[in-house]
Amino acid sequence: MEAMTPLVHPFGRGYASMVTIPAADAAAPTRTGQIDFERRPDRYRHWRLTIEPPLARLRLAVDVDGGLLGDYELKLNSYDIGVDIELADAVRRLRFEHPEVGCVIIDSAVEGVFCAGANIRMLAGSDHGHKVNFCKFTNETRLEMEEASACSGLKFLAAVNGPCSGGGYELAMACDHILLIDDRSSAVSLPEVPLLGVLPGTGGLTRLTDKRHVRRDLADVFATKAEGVRGADALGQGLVDELASPSEFEARVTERARAMADELSRTAPGAGAGPDAAEPAILAPLQRLLEPDGVVYRHVRAELDRPGQLARITVSASADPDWPLTAARELDDLTCHLRFNETDLGTVVLRTVGDPADVLVHDRALAVPSGHRQLETSLLWKRTLSRLDLTARSLIATIEPGSCFVGVLAELALAADRTYMLDGIFEDDDDPLPPAVLQLTAVNTGPMTMANGITRLASRFWGSPDGLSAAEAALDRPIEAADAARLGLVTATPDDLDWDDEIRLAVEERASFSPDALTGMEANHRFAGPETMATKIFGRLSAWQNWIFIRPNASGPEGALRRYGTGSRPDYGRART
């Protein structure tokens, strides 16, 4: 099978040529030194996945010598980004490929140890950007587990068979139920403040209070107690949900997991009873071609302008029944690739091409899914768009003749920090396309909520109910530039003469600003309205954890990350700022 992907003009203007991706390149390796986000269960290095319906078991068995980025040992089931990528793949495959599974047991294959959290040597040796992106990716995986429980009926049980600290406890807290072995030595802990001079990076403090409802004074004691809390005390403070003696532990884990699996059907939360209500959706390897200055998939491509600090992403619509799932996976993979492997590309120009009618057919299934595959695909689009929202990049959408910003693809325009729409046509084209349109559908008013729990449309018009009502009244009809501007759906509507200059100036201006200031500004603007557990987690990660990681008390030569495990105590500067 071959896929055709358009090679486009830097700012639009149709097709210049076609690129063919042979099937043989479907599993093409990434360039040396770059992180690849594709995995498959038979090649996991750190996790063992077994399935005995209605249960699945994800057993953490970290390869000590399997660090992805450097010379460090992953002792005591500590993890780096490679371990987390496998976990993310396993969770996604369980959601799509195994509707017969109702509960996932997450446990450890290492005797007497559950998980020691993120590897300290990895953190100490990583650059600042990787530390923050690593925490962000891990957060997104934890939140996907919680979404699977809330929206897909897939429950998670943490079977904690030994010490469980830092990110290990944060993984347990992302589960629906924590069962701790009561052996008088196993404890749960968040030791980052007393031992490392940083904060739990993947939502630990927020989940203590907002999810597990641990009283704030007890949370304060817990988060400053390096040795953690054991047994009955952990149960009494709400840090775990259940205890079991060593002799009863395995039997209790199985019993509890079966009870959780029986609570509700995987199709009950919204998948309906359509023809594919319980049919698995196999996640085939992505077709991807890595070029020196671009990344090409079947339906998504990125052109990388490194001197201009710019990535141009084009999503192509298709009538292919697999398009919704494949395009979402491709855009998600590309977003991760840009985050970790192209950190200097600070601005992303978002484009779409194709026939709006194709997207409208798919949109109906995304708005009101009728079975397992459709439900999980709709939820995947929601998470993919959320990952784009949470990516520290300036997003500029360009709507022009030949664009396909319709329904789910209109979410790309709504996600953008600025949206430019051509007023009219490109007069110098030999065969000009009709004027650009934007079209909203039910997808834009319901299922694709942001981290703040509301839609991008509602976020755009936060505090302006009349504006939101006017936009929603325009659903299901093509909107040209003048009306889009009147409705407040776009930022500017340049004509043919000004189009290229407007886009160029916007991109060049972005490149002239401080990347740090832009990241903070964009994060503040994108999430108007309600605060949720997710916005708290990512807001604190973007601000406080970002700042704390680069302070000398954490990362300096005498800081806690550098001194950890050396036998020497960190030397803290004592000024409070």
Other Cβ atoms closer than 10 A to 184: 9
Q: Are 496 and 422 in contact (CB under 8 A)?
A: yes
Compute the distance between CA of residue 511 and CA of residue 307 in angstroms, rounded to an integer.
10
Give CA angle at 258 (256, 264), nearest 5°: 110
Reading the block at residue 148, the tokens are 């699977």
Coil, strand or helix at 176: coil
Q: Does domain 289-526 have CATH number 3.30.420.40?
A: no
DSSP string, 206-219: HIIIIIS---HHHH
Q: Contact 55/258 with Cβ under 8 angstroms?
A: yes
Distances (CA, A) of 308 to 223, 336, 338, 344: 44, 20, 15, 10
Tokens 């993310």, located at residue: 88
258: left (phi over 0), alpha (psi -120 to 50) or beta: alpha
Residues of the chain with CATH 3.90.226.10: 45-261, 289-526
Tell me which residue of 160, 215, 225 sits closest to 192, measured CA to CA.
Answer: 225
Instruction: Work out the angle between the directed axes of helices 128-147 and 533-540 (0-180°, nearest 10).
Output: 170
Distance CA 558, CA 556 (A): 5
445's CB contacts (< 8 A; 6+ apart) are 455, 457, 472, 475
pLDDT tens for the chain, 577 residues long, are: 233 333 333 333 332 223 334 333 333 334 457 999 999 999 999 999 999 999 999 999 999 999 999 899 999 999 999 999 999 999 999 999 999 999 999 999 999 999 999 999 998 899 988 998 999 999 999 999 999 999 999 999 999 999 999 999 999 999 999 999 999 999 999 999 999 898 888 789 999 999 999 999 999 999 999 999 999 999 999 999 999 999 999 999 999 999 999 876 665 444 444 434 578 999 999 999 999 999 999 999 999 999 999 999 999 999 999 999 999 999 999 999 999 999 999 999 999 999 999 999 999 999 999 999 999 999 999 999 999 999 999 999 999 999 999 999 999 999 999 999 999 999 988 889 999 999 999 999 999 999 999 999 999 999 999 999 999 999 999 999 999 999 999 999 999 999 999 999 999 999 999 998 998 899 889 999 999 999 999 988 877 777 888 889 988 999 998 898 898 999 999 988 7
3-state helix, strand, coil in the chain (%, to 5): 40, 20, 40
Report d(CA 159, CA 240) in Å as an integer. Answer: 11
pTM listed for this prediction: 0.92
Domain 45-261 part of CATH 3.40.50.1370: no
Rounded-to-integer distance, Cα 570 and Cα 352, Å: 52
